[in-house]
Amino acid sequence: MPTDSRRIAGPESSTNPYSFCTEKPRHDLLKNGKRQDGRKENNLRPIFLKAGVVSQARGSAYIEQNETKVICAVYGPREVVRKEDFSMKGLLTCEFKFAIFSCRERRQHQQDIEEKDYSVQLLEALEPAVCLDKFPKAQMNIYVTVLQNDGSALAAAITCASVAMADSGIEMYDLVAGCAVRVAGKNLLMDPCNQEEYKPEDETGLTNSGSVTVGLMPSLQQVSAISSKGEIEFELVKQAVAKCVDVCTQLYPVLQQALVKSVSERQNEEG
């Protein structure tokens, strides 16, 4: 019997590996004052941040927040190709993308609606911090890739992209630190993991349920972007934003140390 040589040889059937998971998901976000990963409400996950990780890019950075891993590369300034995009101010573009293997379910190669929305929010958070008038008739391209998503991907992307921009040498008014909070009833869970962030709203049975993400320029104490989803009372939104501002201020020395270390390493390499 003739066979199709173009067909990929593989097993006739397969089984989803998640079928072998024995641990049942917990439906409560808080139990005995602790979250599913053992943290308290205000506790953050360990953070690792490094600048200058992509040699081909003008600036780059890599961040880990426990199992959330994000890398960013910055290219430019480049001349604006299309005449209709001509401006005496520089043009900033952002592309946010989940790697196809980064989530529990396989992502597509092309940007979906969620990734396009995150790209717009990322641009809104970074644009106020960049001195666009310093590179007229040119554009900067920012590419963010989530290598592994365990929650708070947008907040991690804001922080990572800000450090990558500073690493590229582009003049900025300030760095931008990102922070996310999960609102569950009257509880505010800082730096939510994937199970907390993407938990179906109807499982919680709470009146206030959603999440808030804030981008802050710490030294200027100015909020560059606020994003929220879900149904949350206004007073709780104010509390969530205030907590995010405090966390972003605490993260500022981490961003500074990453940049200082990157500059020191480059100086040592040059001689």
Query: Residue range 165-182: average pLDDT?
Result: 95
The stretch 127-144 carries a mean pLDDT of: 92
- Do 72 and 144 form a contact (C-beta atoms < 8 A)? yes
Nearest to 55 by CA among 130, 167, 159: 167
Q: What is the pLDDT of residues 201-241, one digit of tens each?
A: 545 556 788 899 999 999 999 999 999 988 889 999 999 99
Domains of the chain and any CATH numbers:
41-262 (3.30.230.70)
pLDDT value for 168: 94
Token reading at 33:
């004052």
DSSP state of 176: -
